[in-house]
Amino acid sequence: MTARRQWQIVIGVVVLLAAGLWAATHYLGDEIFPVEVGSKAPPFVATTLDAQPKPRTLADYKGQVVLVNVWATWCGPCRQEMPSMEALYKDFAPRGFKIAAVSIDDAGTEQRVRDFAKEFGLSFDILHDPSGRIQQIYQTTGVPENFLLGADGVIRKKSYTQDWNSEANRALVARLLDEAGAPPAPSATIKPSTVASPPPGADRMQVEVVPESGARARP
């Protein structure tokens, strides 16, 4: 067998392996790389709602405790959830806590998204992904869906509609900030819930939390 023929065989094998990997990732991505508690949060790309939109990625929040929220203006539970998110953010933002709320509203609805943020007085990052690509990346089944990440980028909680200003959620965010070495803030204390009762659909997903620090990320 000539050297040229050997190289042709090697290249052919590499091409076949690459094609197999692509097919497995494309068709079996959920099974091979599940987005779940204890796994690394996958990267995403969205844009700001500035007059000149700017790209924003998960890498922009590297090393920070961040809540990734996938939502839409037409989503009723999202409207119920947002005020508690704002309350949580206001108290913990001084410690470095971030919220990246990614709207999946259609292209051309940027003003509607802006109006929504203004109506609720939202001061955290409101981003837009009109392609809805983040839904596939994060394997969501509806809106809202939430992914609370530790400073190490590991998903520490995954849930549907939540009262984010509840005692339990405030304690969890405070613990993640402590783990990250964030400075203490007098305002970051446990406060009464801002929601009288869980919003409809809040029990559709079992909330999972990695209980201890130093959780190792699954690949």
Segment (H or E) for 57: strand 55-57
Question: Is the pTM of the predicted complex or chain greater than 0.85?
Answer: no
Confidence of residue 28 (pLDDT cuts 50, 70, 90): very low
In whole angstroms, what is the distance from residue 90 CA to residue 70 CA? Answer: 20
**Mean pLDDT, rounded, for 174-195:** 74
In whole angstroms, what is the distance from residue 182 CA to residue 192 CA? Answer: 23
pLDDT on residue 161? 94
DSSP 95: G
In the block, residue with structure tokens 């091979």: 32
> In the structure encoding, which two tokens stand for residue 167, read together?
């005692």
